[in-house]
């Protein structure tokens, strides 16, 4: 694990969905009409693949090095 620090990106969804919950559990402000909690969950859903991609890119770089 220490040899592959990029794997820490895999914890991003845990931080976004679970860690941040106390801060985002609210209706307002609405963003694009979406209640804030649902907006946040949508953002987290869209960022999850990005997090996994960053872990993958980290592995790729190590592979080439």
Q: Are 1 and 59 in contact (CB under 8 A)?
A: no
**What is the DSSP code string of 21-63?**
HHHH--S-S-BTTB-HHHHHHHHHHHHHHHHHHHHHHHHHHHH
Q: Does 8 bind another protein (CB under 8 A)?
A: no
**CB of 26: closest distance to another protein in angstroms?**
6
**Closest CB to another protein among 5 and 38?**
38
Residues that bind another protein (CB under 8 A): 7, 10-14, 17-18, 21-22, 25-28, 30, 33-35, 37-38, 41-42, 44-46, 48-49, 51-53, 55-56, 59-60, 62-64
């Amino acid at each position: 694990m220490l040899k592959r620090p990029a794997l820490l990106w895999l914890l991003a969804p845990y931080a976004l969905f679970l860690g941040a919950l106390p801060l985002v559990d609210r209706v307002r402000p609405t963003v694009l009409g979406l209640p804030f909690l649902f907006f946040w969950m949508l953002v987290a859903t869209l960022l999850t693949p990005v997090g996994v991609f960053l872990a993958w890119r980290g592995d790729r770089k190590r592979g080439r090095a």
